[in-house]
Structure 1
């Protein structure tokens, strides 16, 4: 993967369920993290008492966070409505020259802030809520 501009990482939402994804926010800072739990199967018979893990058995998850400004009133309303509905919706996280991660995410945090002489900003946290698909570019 070549060096990329951070601003090219996009966050898109399908709030209608029709498979039509729309970029919802002008994110100034964003992060996508993957993690998985481990399942320890170490026993007294484990070689030299080294820990053993059961491959492929842990829970996998993705965490997306970002901060920025909403593109328009419609994207603000979509995200806000999704949060207050407590709904898991399909999202896309587009990483240029790498790929797209797509699947259900739930908004677990939504914060708004603003200075008296500046624009309104927000912070958003998404947690995966089902199987994700990665498509390489």
Structure 2
């Protein structure tokens, strides 16, 4: 049987300490997406390109964004609102629930925090981070 149950995946936030940073899970996460890796391409087509097909080379890479949703608890998630004030990237980790505890580690800036309070449902918040630099998979 193929596939791994995503239940138990964690998004962890680093405390910035050196030389040994400590990571703490962001509580009440309901979904985690990303990083959305991408690469630019540059068109290098010439009048002599074979059979009139466009040709490309790879350009700069982009770590994209990481997104997440939480069951919003203002007393538990106040630090996220404060993170919007940070101009410098912070280190985060996405830890998957596979036996190897596969981990994406990346630096990112919180760029979006959108709470929602419907009259007939739970408090929630959608979060967006812009990845800065190269994410590493281990």
Normalised TM-score (structure 2): 0.80
State the alpha-carbon separation in 2 of the partners of residues 58 and 50 from structure 1.
23
Question: Runs ≥4 in structure 1, deviation > 6 angstroms?
Answer: none
Identify unmatched segments of 5+ residues in structure 1: none
Task: Label 1:43 to 1:27 Cα distance change in 2 as closer, same or farther (>3 A).
Answer: same
CA-to-aligned-CA distance 1:46-69 (integer Å, 9 cap, x gap): 1112121213x2332232111122
Partner of 2:8: 8
Runs of 5+ consecutive residues of structure 2 not aligned to the other structure: none
- Determine helix, strand or coil for the equivalent of 2:41: coil
Residue 93 of structure 2: SS of its match in structure 1?
A: strand
For each residue in 1:58-107, what CA deviation from the matched residue of structure 2 results, as whole angstroms up to 9, or x when unmatched? 33223211112257835x13322111223310011122337211121111
CA shift for structure 1 position 17 = 3.5
Aligned partners of 2:84 and 2:12: how far apart in 1?
15
CA contact (8 A) 2:116 2:125 kept: yes
Q: Distance in 1 between matches of 2:74 and 2:16?
A: 17
1:14-68 per-residue CA deviation (whole Å, 9 max, x = no partner) reads 133341111013221221122222122111121112121213x233223211112
Q: Which residue of 1 aligns with 2:91?
A: 90
Q: Give aligned pairs, total.
A: 133
TM-score of the pair, normalised by structure 1:
0.80
Tell me the C-alpha RMSD between the 2 structures: 2.4
Q: Counterpart in 2 of 1:131?
A: 134
Greater helix share, structure number: 1
